[in-house]
Structure 1
């Protein structure tokens, strides 16, 4: 046994039993699936009507696709020799817990299968146009780390993840209820997309050295650690700036000023990366980035819900 194994497991506070499978889901990333569904649904509620069973199906399908994408990441990074016992930011179920790679791949495909069944229900209850968009989204979820040219290894990972996990999911979550889409929905989706992309950027800043050795060409590698941290800060400023603009022009209600309460986490995330070079040292900053997305998205959706009952 590699002597580093118990150290890294202890440092990450990894436990056995059910926790092994929970880590495989990478729960800290699942908010990136919840937030856009919640926001899109609340936008639909403001403009008309919401079908609760459709909302539940869309939320579950989104969570399953995100979890499956995480499992594909775990499987293909292991197959390419990118993950080892000392890797952080992964479930570690293969390299540290001894779970069979085929089991991880099978679970990912199973989750995709359930998501497809939910997709059929969603399409039958709304529009079959959703089927094409859903299949493309699932394909990109697979290609993010699967296939001969994984998107995660290129400078486009943040853009692709933000677009599909932000704009596309918000758009679908709105469309299935009202069978239409508006420019406002697309504009409002941009800050959410930016925050989702920020999670990926934070991940790539943390993993910069290891990714560089393994031939990846992420935006963090191309910019360098210092400039990548500046870029992360710029993304946060842009997202909050757009939110304020959308409130000023009436696309979002005044209640959406509540989203600014998440700025504290964004500042913590940026400061947490400054002067750090070891992956374990940057884990709190990575966590703060994910929490920024969670808090911002939850407050944005909540502000729309409040507007529904207490309009300003």
Structure 2
């Protein structure tokens, strides 16, 4: 059994450094939290829903807390299973590199979940208690992504779960708490965002492919192989843009949504950044560009929806 007693943190003085704690939240992934809330709210306004600012703020904070907690569970369980060490590439590894106590990381994650529940109770009071069930399912998925006997992160379904729960579900909840119902249009518009949230996940798995394979994971990137995984990543991005064109051509969305195409250069940079690369460190810029594609696409989509509401 692998133990962690031999690990000597390389940086011991950073325990109280705010940057360590900020990195622990994995800030580049947090866009997967706030972009869907923004899109869902903008969609609700387009359906003539009244805008409830306190509910919007609570939803935004709760979603970000759940995303941060999920990242911290990831950090904790990667350490417990011996996947992180001092040489781990990327933003993870605060426990082994910075001397942060594993228990502290777990306690903070659980505390963030607790705060999310309190915010969720307020959201339920002003909308519907059915959301409590959906919220608990989302939180369970966040925990089971790396926790539990068979972590979702070890299977080929990580991208699907990330896209479905952090894309579709969050958009629809954000829509519902403003409008009081869910429209088929909201479901259709949530698809490209879900694909790009899943793409963040896939880009992470492409970077970690060799290490994950050694540790017995069966991620989508491993099953496809590196070259094909990059093709899948490009396809996910391509379908996101194509989907918007189809929505507009079908008359289901405003032509203002075409402004999402300003994010195409970032998507191209992400794909190019992965082609021919095999070292994790070489792929970090491409991974960052993938997350930025989700952010910029989501912001532009929201702006397009807001403009179509006011015009």
Q: TM-score, structure 1 length as denominator?
A: 0.94
Shift of 1:5: 5.4
Unaligned runs of at least 5 residues, structure 1: 7-13
CA contact (8 A) 2:73 2:106 kept: yes
CA contact (8 A) 2:84 2:92 kept: no
The secondary structure found in structure 1 opposite 2:85 is coil
Query: CA offsets per residue over residues 9-64 of structure 1, 9 Å max, x none?
Result: xxxxx998110000001111001000000000001111121101000000000000
Within-5 A mapping of 1:1-312: 17-47=17-47, 48-310=49-311
**What RMSD, in angstroms, separates the aligned Cα atoms of the two structures?**
1.7
Query: What is the distance in 2 between the residues matched to 1:92 and 1:210?
Result: 14
Task: Sort the Cα spacing of 1:126 and 1:4 in 2 relative to 1 into closer, same or farther, 3 A.
Answer: closer
The secondary structure found in structure 2 opposite 1:95 is helix
CA contact (8 A) 2:273 2:285 kept: yes
Query: CA offsets per residue over residues 132-161 of structure 1, 9 Å max, x none?
Result: 000000000000000000000100000000
Query: CA offsets per residue over residues 218-237 of structure 1, 9 Å max, x none?
Result: 00000100010011111111
CA contact (8 A) 2:8 2:96 kept: no
CA contact (8 A) 1:23 1:92 kept: no
Task: Sort the Cα spacing of 1:2 and 1:83 in 2 relative to 1 into closer, same or farther, 3 A.
Answer: closer
Unaligned runs of at least 5 residues, structure 2: 1-5
Shift of 1:3: 11
Shift of 1:2: 8.7
Task: Sort the Cα spacing of 1:238 and 1:75 in 2 relative to 1 into closer, same or farther, 3 A.
Answer: same
Query: What is the distance in 2 between the residues matched to 1:4 and 1:228?
Result: 34
Shift of 1:239: 0.8
What does residue 11 of structure 1 align with? none
What does residue 9 of structure 1 align with? none
What does residue 10 of structure 1 align with? none
Query: What is the distance in 2 between the residues matched to 1:290 and 1:15?
Result: 27
CA contact (8 A) 1:88 1:280 kept: yes
Shift of 1:95: 1.1
Query: What is the distance in 1 between the residues matched to 2:29 and 2:237?
Result: 18
Query: What is the distance in 2 between the residues matched to 1:4 and 1:87?
Result: 12
Q: TM-score, structure 2 length as denominator?
A: 0.95
